[in-house]
Amino acid sequence: MLDTLVDNYLRRLLSIGAAGVVLLAFFFWALPAPSALALVAGYLLSFTFVASNFLLVRKINLDDQKKFLTLFFGSITLRFMLVLVCFALVLAYLKIDQILFTISFIISYILHSVIEIIFINKILENRHEN
């Protein structure tokens, strides 16, 4: 059952990623290039870091709660620090609309994080049912 949940999460993650790419393609068509680049960069940065947690969830052992919490919160901390570094690098070195980039990043990061939390909650509920 866990493998099914993980596979569903992967499918949803890829679907959201594909929908995001379609939406971003529309932005490239409708907006000036610097604005579109800012939106794309913000979306891709947030998607990359939230999607990277899939690797952890795929390999995590849910039977050992202490190890699960340590790995999960450790990965969140590590990812958050990496996001901050990449965010600062993008703002410092890319000549893009910084406000659009920041708004795009925050909105997409919240969206992806909510989906991630829902998925992890379903895994934990499934573990308690079995």
CA atoms lying within 13 Å on the CB side of residue 109: 18
Contact predicate 45/106, CB 8 Å: no
pLDDT tens column, 35-68 = 777 878 888 888 888 777 766 666 666 666 777 7
Residue type present at position 5: L
**5 — pLDDT class (breaks 50, 70, 90):** low
Domain count, the chain: 1
**8 — pLDDT class (breaks 50, 70, 90):** low
Q: What is the pTM of this model?
A: 0.69
pLDDT tens column, 63-122 = 667 777 787 788 888 888 888 898 888 888 888 888 888 888 888 888 878 877 877 777
Q: How far apart are CA 51 and CA 112, in angstroms?
A: 8
Structural domain span for residue 87: 2-129
Q: How far apart are CA 108 and CA 47, in angstroms?
A: 7
Residue 8: closest CA among 122, 129, 100: 122
